[in-house]
Structure 1
């Protein structure tokens, strides 16, 4: 129960912020499936309002879980970039990739719910999310949210 509660909202998010918490989550989750993680930080990264950090943590958590469960990747790159009044988070893997149109048009209603939830969370922050994937070539999830009101 303690692990479940911690996974829902790690206290690290409150104490150290989005960037440290998401990096920690990615390291922990990906190490458990023998994937290597590289992290890059560009620009001055600042603390964000708690509701924004929570939403972005959830989106990153979903992307990282998808990589751990489905990608078969060996390497994952997590990049935080603060420039031009926006925060961009890129999560890239060298896994098997997938056909995005198959997920979006699948008759299986459960398939793609994670992506839809990610898009909704980012949209509520006034941002956008782009998922690029090609079978055999890996996947890139790019999240961009404006910081003008922060």
Structure 2
């Protein structure tokens, strides 16, 4: 009974948009994208966010990027996304990447990392997410500093 009530509440919250979307791990091979229509806008900070994406995917000044050459385990072994938060001006940006393949792990190419995250930033004023070829990418600007 409790499980049903929690599930019902989750469905209702999803229907009214109060819950952030998450990767579709059941249909992990299906491609889709969502452009966020609400929330904080990039404003004049797109170039700075783009630089953070490049740093995370390709590294910077001899330092390894947070997503550079990272091996992502199969979803069955590690059902979590790789999260990164960066501060930009008076707001922060949440980045997430996940390998949704249930059986095989992969290292994400830095070009794919950069292109997918950058495309999520360019496609809308408030970020978005995309599931493509078994990967899930999310870029979301939010108020205040990283927590």
The answer to whether the superposition gives a TM-score over 0.5 is no
Please tell me whether Structure 1 or Structure 2 has the larger radius of gyration of its CA atoms. Answer: 2
Q: Which has the higher helix share?
A: 1
> TM-score if structure 2 supplies the norm length?
0.29
